[in-house]
Amino acid sequence: MRPALAQQFYRLVLAVGLVLVACSAPPYDEQTDRLISELQYDVDSQIVMLLSLDRKVAELSGANNDLARKSLAEARVRAGYEANATFYDKLDSQLTSLRLRVDALPTEATPNIDRAIDELRANLLTGEGSLRSVHQKQSVLGEAYLRNERRLLNAQFQALLSYELVLKAGSGIGKK
């Protein structure tokens, strides 16, 4: 999988780079801030739901009565890729909207923000080890994988949100 130290270093460099670029004072955009926050909430909520379903599958795996076996089958279906494919389609649209919004008013920061969005897209949808591709291959995602992905993705969202908060704080400087 991904080396943990390299991930942490990448996130730190990305966060510092975004904060430094924010010093060039592009305008704060409330809609971009909202899009990032909504996207983070949607991803985190989905991962929490998948974690819950994985726990349910684990609890019911040794079941020997009809009701428990039926519940196990239903949990596996709900946790499977096919039942969650529309979630990935929604993420694709949200990431496209975010990228379009950022690129609508280009600044010195735009290439860095675009790169951060591209990395997020790769980790969620398009990369070889993306959430989507692993979900397609494994059908039901395990707890260890989901917790690791949750940490990685939230670090990426944190960098983007930190950038937006720096812009927001800077937009009030010198105004009365």
Per-residue model confidence as pLDDT tens digits over 62-118: 878 999 899 999 999 999 999 999 999 999 999 999 999 989 888 787 888 899 999
Contact 112, 17 (CB under 8 A): yes
The pLDDT of residue 53: 96
Contact 167, 81 (CB under 8 A): no
The pLDDT of residue 91: 97
Confirm whether pTM is higher than 0.85: no
Helix (H, G, I), strand (E, B) or coil at 166: helix
Average pLDDT over every residue of 15-42? 74
- Select from 150, 154, 87, 156 the least CA-distant residue to 115: 156
Average pLDDT over every residue of 12-24? 55
Contact 168, 33 (CB under 8 A): yes
- One-letter amino acid for residue 25 of the chain: A
